[in-house]
Each structure stands twice: as C-alpha cells, then as structure tokens.
Structure 1
C-alpha cells in the first residue's frame, strides 16, 4: 500500500475525490480503470443526517446505475451512528497497490489494486465513525471504523442495506445455517422476501452490469451477517445471526473491542468474466499469518462416504480407496466419520500404515463438537478447546496425518467465528491443513490462513445421498455455482461421479468429467467408488490422473447462470477446459482459443459427450492462439479438454 504524495494529489483528485458544492453528493471514488464509481450522498441534502453510497458502472461508454443506494449506519449499545451523522472530512486519497501470491485458488499471482478514501463522521455525542471506501476494477468495498480507544461494547444492529429494484434479475439462496440450499432465480413479481445466504448475484435490468454481494475479512471482533429483505422487498439489509442458530449457544449481538474495523462489505462488479475471475474477497483480506507455506500442498483426494456412508468403519474399504488414490496419482485419501470404530481386518493405525505405504497422505474427519450441534458422531470433542486440539494435533503429527475435515458448525455468531479462527491458529502450529464442513461461506480466510484449503457451504454431490429432490435440479445448480458460491472461495462439492449413490444423477459422463475443472477447491475430493473410475476409457482416466486443482489463471469462456458455463484454467503452460450444459436440449458451442500464448503450438485432447450420456467421444487436435473448436453437449451434458504445448 502506498499513500499518494502531495505533489500529485491534485492530479488524482479529479478521478478519486470530488467534493461538490451541492450537499446531495459529497464525494466520488473511482476505480483505477474508471469503470466503477462510488458516490457518497446525504439523504437530507445537507451536511448532516443519513448517508448512503451509490455505485455506477460504465461499459463501452454506457453508464449504468448498478446499485442505487447502500444505506450506511451502526447502532451500538451506547450510541447510534445513522440518523444524525455529521460529515467531518474526507482524508487524503490513497492508492492501494499490492501484489501477493496464493498457495491455491483460481489464480496464483494476485493484485490488490484500488483507490481508497476514508470519510470521517461524528454523531451528536461527538463520537467518531469512519467509513473507508475502495473502488476496484472488479468492484468496490467499504468498511466501518471506530478509531478511538474505549471499553468493549455490543453492537445492537448494523444498518447497511442494498436497495435493488425488483426488475433486477437475481440468483439467491434462502438462508440456512449450513449454506447448502439451491439458488432461486428471481425478478419482478417473483422476488421473494426472505433471509438470504451470501453470496448473492444480480444483473441490472439493462443487462449491462453484474454484481455479487458478499463480505470479507471477518475476524474475532464481529459476527457473520446475512442478507434480509423481509421488511422492504427492495432493500437487502445486513442481519445478525438468528438466536436459535447453533442450538441457541452464543450471543447474537457481537461485542467489539476498540479501535475497531468491521469486515469489508464487498460488491464484485462488471461483466460475468469480471465476476467469475475476481479474487476481490481475498484481496481485501489480511495477508497470510504464515511465513512458511511450503508444507501446504493442494491436491486431489479419494473419498469413500459418497458410495458407502459407513465406508471408513471398514478397513477393507479404506484400503481400496487408498489403492484408488495411488492408481489415479492422487496424493490424498480421506478417512471420514467412524474411523475411531474401524474393523473388518484392521484398526485406524493399520489403515494409516497401509495408506502411507502406498505413498498416499491421509486426511481425517472430526465432529466440531460442543453444544452447538446435536450430531453425536465421534470423535466429537477433540477440536473443541485449545488443549484438546494441541493433544490431537500432536497425535496426528506422529501418525502422519496431514489434514483435518471439521464438520457441523451451524452458526455464524461471534463465538463461532472465534472458534473457527482458534482452530486455524492451532493447526498452523502443527502444519495441519484444515477444511470446514457444515460451515460458513468463505470470507477471505484462505488468504490469511492459506492452510485453510476449502469449505463445504454448498449443496454438493453428497446430496445424492440425502434426497431424491437433488437429481433433477443438479444440472442447473452446477451452472449457477461458478457465478456465485465458487467465486468467493474454495468449494468442496465432492464432484466427478459416474456411478450412482442412493439417488441417481441425470448429468452425462462428460458433464461429470468437466466438474473437475469447473469447480475449484484446494482439496478436491473425487467422490465416486473405485469401480467408477477404473471403468473409464483411457482418455478420461488419464485426464483425472493429471488434472490439477490449484491454478495459475482462470478465464470464463462462455456461459449464463443456470444455462451453461465453459471455464478455462491454466497450470504452468497447460490449459484445462470444462464445459457443462444445464438445459434439456442438446447444444453446440464454438470455443475460441485466443487466450493461448502467441507463437506456440499445442496439442488438445477433447473429451466430449458421445452417442449417449454414458459415452465419451475423444478427439485430438493441433491448435494455437488463432484456433477455435466446435463441441457438442448433450442435454445436461458437458466436455473437458486439456491443451499442452508441443515440445
């Protein structure tokens, strides 16, 4: 980060800070590319009163009022900061210009680049509140700050709300504590009044601007929030957790210590390409706490729960999945619940010895424990306290276990946010990778804690175990996730299944293969039984042996939420492409390869839908930057491709 020097402030002010003579619009912050502008307005057309932000977007010279009003304000237990806020000053403009590397995710090299302005207000009691506003090329973010020191106090309410007209198209998930619902597509008279999960996707009436609402850099000093339009159908207000979440444990209203900064309120904005490829949630979050990340290894894992819910109870099944990981060149296998009651030929220690002898690294499941969950599955309480975690992580180091899956959090109250972060802090001391299930949606922690590999917080393939109602919505759901949930962080969907679990799927084999590229997760759990992978033809089997799960670059090539999506991801000099179709009709796509490097010839292996949904059609092509290829997708079908330079 660098502050603008006094010699060039005048040059930047025209783009970054405009204090107007009229009271209505107080100032404007523009993105570096000038496509996004954030204006600060006063509701009473005065220098004191209620304040809001307005976000505009320019594409091809056409301006769109993307979000007409973002209301600002907080209510503390002692004072209110909303109705009578007096403008004090705007600070000096700041240019944010930071480069960093990510261990896993959609892009390895990241750029945190924005224009920032801090605006100071005070309430009638002369207590200060700052609002820090940033404009990025792919969105905007703002946060609240109490700069003064004083004793800790509760926040009674946050008044932030986004005004969005009913005619705006939206893709939203009804609030549920595990964040595992389906997305509803709504506009006009179909808009519902509910509490809603993050992230939420919108497309303006003129189709010019897409934007995704989320929050980032949540820490121990606050709770998670959600969106609610229950009071006003056009206003999505940030709302604290429900009292009943986590079986009523924990306090709804967070207690903050001072000086204090809220999480960032994040709006990812632009074209669909801008939204899908954005790393804004990570960009605004705090840098890594780890000096050494060499021990953090993204990779693919075999997983027995989907095909055998009690698989880890059976030593022979565990060893079969270790064999699968070794045969498929996957570095990990997961021992899910019931590993502490393993039988049929061996116990946990025997299984771990077998797994490591195969050159595979074991991962193990834990219940998060405590009174916040009714789930009694063991081991239950070993993650619950610092002392129990230190004892367990010490054992895992000795056993050669490199990662833990921790399940059933069921709340985003402040006490649970503190619990998540306590786990991550302790795991880092033992070089243990972590991923959360039954949990919150990512909040940028993957940057701060890069050993946090992924989260569930999605209706994934596990739901083929739970209900027949997932079978038919799954294809559409799969094409919404790349534009919503997977934008904001790793997503443990547990994809790529060719056989069936308790309930069947109607996606084609090509569709399932493509999910290995479409969905991003720092630990990617391939969910099918060994027979499902062994029965594949050579080309898709080879594809799954080699496909990475941590990427150097990501591009959206084509797609519309709920219809279809085609993504390209790069690892080193090779590109992987996945495309899926949600609709009940066959589609043909022409995919341009203009993202390839200049002057390089490549070999492309294209694995597409064959004559029917359980058949593949494989072809081999020589391509370069000027090439394009045609591909046919069956109804609910898909394809995958790998493009490697010709030596």
Structure 2
C-alpha cells in the first residue's frame, strides 16, 4: 500500500500550479483520502485539508474544508505560508496491548506524510498528516530548535454543511451536558464540548471530531461556531475557567508538536469500534503494569449521598462487593468525617478483610475550584501526593478518585499528568471526576482507569430532568462520549435515588455491557442487586468491564443501540430502546466463529418495566433470536461456548 500513497502524492505534485490540490494521503484500505489544497491556487498563501470517504465505489466528501494555521506571539503561520516540500511517505504500523477498554489488541496503522512550510520571515511550520482505515489525524509542528513563545490562537476550522446531521454538547467545564441533535436551520451557534458526531445527509458516511495526545506543551481545546454556524473553530479555554487561575493561552518551547486533531470516519459501526484516539497517543511510560487490574466497584454515593460518613453503611457496601465478586469498593467524599463505629483506618481494614480493594475520593484542591469539601489539598503538589500515597499504600488502598478540575488550561493539563505519573510510582489506580473527556492518556498512563466527563446516573440526584432525558441520552453516549475513552456513568441502578427512573430493569442491566469503563462503578444500594432474580444477579457477578473486541450490531443515536463485546471466548450483548414505543429486534450471531455452539442466556424485559423474562438457548453463527424491548426498555445477554 505504500506505493499507492507514493504515486498519489507524486501525481498531485506533478500537476501544474493551476490545480488547487497539492497532495493526497490515502488510508491503507484506500477508503479514506485526505487532500491538501491551496486557497490561492499557488505555493504561497493559506492552506486547507479536505477529507473524503469511499465505500462501494461511492465517494463522499465528508469534510469539505479544514482550514489550517497557528498564531504565535512573535509571528503568524496561516495566511502567507510557502509550500516547501512533502516528505517521503511513511507507513505507521505498530501493535500494542490495552489493559482495559473496548479492544485488547490495538493496531496503530496509517500512511503518514509531513508537509513543510515557511512564513515570510522564513520560520518553519510542519503539518503531519495521517490517513487511517478508520479516520484522519493531523498535527502541527515547529521543527526549529530553540525559542519559547505564547500561542495566541489556533486557526484550525472544520467547515460542515448545515444539512449535515450532528450531535453536540454545549460547552461546560465538567463535560456533563446533554447532546442536542440538529441540522439545517436548527443548527445552533455555541461553544461545544468534544467529541462531536456528524452524519452526512445521504447517510453515506459518519465522522466524529476529537483531539488526542494533549500533553504539558498545550492546553485542551473545544469547538466554536459562534461566528459562522457552518464553521467549527478550535478554541482555547475561557480565561474564567478554573476561577480564572492559569493562562488560557499555552506557552510552547521549540521544537514542538501540537496534539493530534482526530476525525474518526466511516460507518457508525466503524466509529463505535475505533481506538483511533488511543492509537495516535504516546505509548505507555509505565513499565511494570501487572498491578493494573480493571474491575467493578460498589459505590454508595448515588443511594446515600452522605453514606461514607457512616461506617456501618461503608461495611454494607464492602459486603456487597464481596458477595457480588466485585474487586473494588469506593469510599467517596466525607470519609474524613466517618463515624458510627469506625473511621477511615477501620473501614480500610474491614474492606481488605473481605477480599475487596478500597478506592478513595479526594478534592483536587487549589484555588481553581470553589468546592471546599475536604480533604482538599492532599493531591495538589508532588510532596502532598507522595505523603498521601505512602499512607494509602500502607492501608491497602488500590487507587484514588480525584474531583473538581474545572479547567482545561495548560497548567491543569500539567496537573492531570503529574498526578498520573506520581500515582504510577506508587502503583495507584486513578479515576478523574469533574474533569475533561479522554484525550488518549489511558494508553500513555494505563493506570488511568476512567473519567467522568459525562452526564451520568449521578444526575438522578440533581433534579427531575434526568428522569425524562436519560433514556435518549443513554442511546447517544455509545456513539459519542464513550467512543473516545472510558466513561464512568455509574450505571445499572434498579431502585430509585432522589428522582425516579423511567428506564426498565432490562435497560439498566444492559448498561453494564454498553458503557465501557476501566473501573465500572455500579451505583445501586445493596438490596437493589441482592434482591434481583438469579439470572440477572449472576450476570452482574461475571460481566467483564474490559474487553477484547467490540461490535455494533444495530443502532442510531437517540433511538436504540445493540452492541456485542467479547472477553476471551465469551460474548456479551447489551441492547436498549430510547423511544416510548415497544420494539422487536432480531439478534443475528454472524460475529460468532464457525462450527462453535454457544449457550445463550437472554435476560430481557418482562411483562412490565420492573420484571425480567429470561430464556436459555443453544445458538451458533447461523442462529437468530427475537427479543422484545419495552418502551425505554432493554436486554442483556451472554454467549458462552459449549465445550
């Protein structure tokens, strides 16, 4: 395939200057092309990319224009860039193992070309372009060897025709909003969170925009179409974020490379199964990873907001984890005020005595958050963390949940990564809460097990809204937020918290498969699980939360989703319905290997939304099984090979 890329680039460079197109980079499977164009039809001026997708010989112009450029404190790199050369095509081809996520064996395989420019003052800019089988990624680079500058602005702008359907979340620092579906005259002008999902009008292609490999040399960004509804510009953090602490514009030192700008592209199934955000990220810096173990977690906050203050409540949830064979239990906020029979040391001893590993919550601390909940500053500095991690290891704690970051400025990116590095030194798992959405860091720091960055079940405590919005929201997340990395929604609740569910028991059980998180916090009270019928309870005792393979079987954002995930030789399926009408689905098992029979355990909606209907059946690759989903209903299933 390397020769294909070479000839494509050679052809483009050999054409006369009247041609706008300068070069093409093609994916290894030849389905995705990314082309470089000159806005001025010559070698000097502004430049943009165009991304195309072809399937069954139909070529779709997925993103017609991606404007390029940077503005640095000393000079501009956008409107008068002179094309110097396109480097030799490079085949990127590596495999790596993920300890948790949607796939265990991942492949980073792409064709890459580096394009070199200079501005009128002869300062150099590189743009590194990659075409993958499931998308496009590009990044900027300043190759010169010295100099420190402020980055004033990034001019990367995605042009999206208004008729393109999109699912977008209005910007908020905690990334906990709902998604809005819109097109045509319904397109709103806002600042938007990552990731963003688009569907071409003719349904020939989907794509999802994100960024990855954000490190200490830059800030996190967002998208804004406030100036022009059809143009989504990469935008730096608001100066007011994090109580105004830190600069909203990053400072860079040369040589320098930006984060990757990522476009996952193809069918909806391609997007759901993609690991592109991790693929382009830096390889793991943690050498010994034997101690990093994903697993399910019992968690008391949802059912009892102040439960961690009560030693007896803590013990009940430790017992729950032990009885359900879940490896972890989380001690959430107010653990430092624990009473009613014991304190934090007593709780840790009790949890460990049950064969369960404790996790513990902290406020991120510092003046970037208004939240005064204690302990506040024990994660704030390297010295704080070393002291606290030392204590935690002695008490048997396996990891930390750190909350309230409230900013994606460069200083906060440094803080996130400092925490991960110190935690790895003490073999501590990390869960970020009240935070950004994943940027590929779980590949670089595999002890980063999960993030919140989602409107999850916690919102049943915050007001009546989530009761009605959750069913639809749940069917959007597998196509948006959970595509780009682990997501701690705190799912699978059968009883009610402050505000009730409208989702069925089958819907809730399905979330254990549909939502991926390296630490999956199951949020219900003990009786919510222990009083389940035997089949559902057994399912939750054995369902994995780190997967070897993921396949979308069927679905559409906001309507329904059916997904299959494999762990070892066993498969698990989750399906949910967002709509207020009953649906009949037919499960097809074409993803199973040939000549192997499986025992199917199907736990579906029963006669009403708080009942299950369970059936057992032998199936193989050629089988099909009908399953009924109630309004806002769902089902879960396991497929275990028969020896």
Residue number in structure 1 paired with 2:301: 305
Residue number in structure 2 paired with 1:5: none
Contact conserved, 1:219 with 1:418, CA < 8 A, in 2? yes
Q: TM-score, normalised by structure 1?
A: 0.98
Match of 2:6 among 2, 13, 35: 13
Q: TM-score, normalised by structure 2?
A: 0.99
Contact conserved, 1:16 with 1:30, CA < 8 A, in 2? no
Structure 1 runs (4+) deviating above 2 angstroms are 8-12, 14-18, 20-23
Distance in 2 between residues matched to 1:312 and 1:327, nearest whole Å: 20
Residue number in structure 2 paired with 1:321: 317
Residue number in structure 1 paired with 2:349: 353
Distance in 1 between residues matched to 2:340 and 2:250, nearest whole Å: 48
Distance in 2 between residues matched to 1:257 and 1:612, nearest whole Å: 62
Structure 1 position 14, deviation (Å): 2.2
Distance in 2 between residues matched to 1:12 and 1:243, nearest whole Å: 43
Residue number in structure 2 paired with 1:552: 548
Alignment of 1:226-625 (within 5 A): 226-625=222-621
1:497-554 deviation digits (Å, cap 9, x = unpaired)? 0000000010000000000000000000000000101110000000000000000000
Distance in 2 between residues matched to 1:220 and 1:428, nearest whole Å: 17
Structure 1 position 205, deviation (Å): 1.1
Classify the secondary structure of the residue corresponding to 2:468.
Answer: coil
Structure 1 position 597, deviation (Å): 1.2
Distance in 2 between residues matched to 1:615 and 1:395, nearest whole Å: 46
Alignment of 1:75-90 (within 5 A): 75-90=71-86
Structure 1 position 582, deviation (Å): 0.1
Distance in 1 between residues matched to 2:61 and 2:345, nearest whole Å: 61
* Residue 175 (str. 1) matches residue 171 (str. 2): yes
Classify the secondary structure of the residue corresponding to 1:29.
Answer: strand
Alignment of 1:59-70 (within 5 A): 59-70=55-66
Contact conserved, 2:547 with 2:566, CA < 8 A, in 1? yes
Alignment of 1:60-209 (within 5 A): 60-209=56-205
Structure 1 position 353, deviation (Å): 0.7
Contact conserved, 1:16 with 1:115, CA < 8 A, in 2? no
Contact conserved, 1:303 with 1:321, CA < 8 A, in 2? yes
The worse-fitting range, judged by mean Cα deviation, of 237-246 and 148-157 is 148-157
Unmatched segments (≥5 aa) in structure 2: none
Distance in 2 between residues matched to 1:9 and 1:543, nearest whole Å: 47
Classify the secondary structure of the residue corresponding to 2:120.
Answer: coil
Distance in 2 between residues matched to 1:319 and 1:258, nearest whole Å: 54
Distance in 2 between residues matched to 1:11 and 1:555, nearest whole Å: 30
Distance in 1 between residues matched to 2:210 and 2:575, nearest whole Å: 26
Contact conserved, 2:2 with 2:91, CA < 8 A, in 1? no
Distance in 1 between residues matched to 2:81 and 2:453, nearest whole Å: 37
Unmatched segments (≥5 aa) in structure 1: 1-7
Distance in 2 between residues matched to 1:353 and 1:418, nearest whole Å: 34
Aligned CA distance change for structure 1 residues 10 and 563 (closer, same or farther; 3 Å): closer
Structure 1 position 447, deviation (Å): 0.2
Distance in 1 between residues matched to 2:205 and 2:59, nearest whole Å: 10
Distance in 2 between residues matched to 1:453 and 1:467, nearest whole Å: 28
Classify the secondary structure of the residue corresponding to 2:339.
Answer: coil
Distance in 2 between residues matched to 1:14 and 1:559, nearest whole Å: 39
Distance in 1 between residues matched to 2:484 and 2:383, nearest whole Å: 32
Classify the secondary structure of the residue corresponding to 1:471.
Answer: helix
Contact conserved, 1:479 with 1:564, CA < 8 A, in 2? yes
Contact conserved, 2:600 with 2:639, CA < 8 A, in 1? yes
Distance in 2 between residues matched to 1:59 and 1:480, nearest whole Å: 25
Distance in 1 between residues matched to 2:56 and 2:2, nearest whole Å: 28
Q: Report the count of equivalent residues.
A: 640
Classify the secondary structure of the residue corresponding to 1:473.
Answer: helix
Distance in 2 between residues matched to 1:220 and 1:260, nearest whole Å: 11
Contact conserved, 2:5 with 2:25, CA < 8 A, in 1? no
Classify the secondary structure of the residue corresponding to 2:414.
Answer: helix
Contact conserved, 1:362 with 1:401, CA < 8 A, in 2? yes
Classify the secondary structure of the residue corresponding to 1:212.
Answer: strand
Structure 1 position 11, deviation (Å): 5.4
Classify the secondary structure of the residue corresponding to 1:68.
Answer: strand
Q: Could you say what the CA RMSD is over the residues aligned between the two structures, in angstroms? A: 0.8
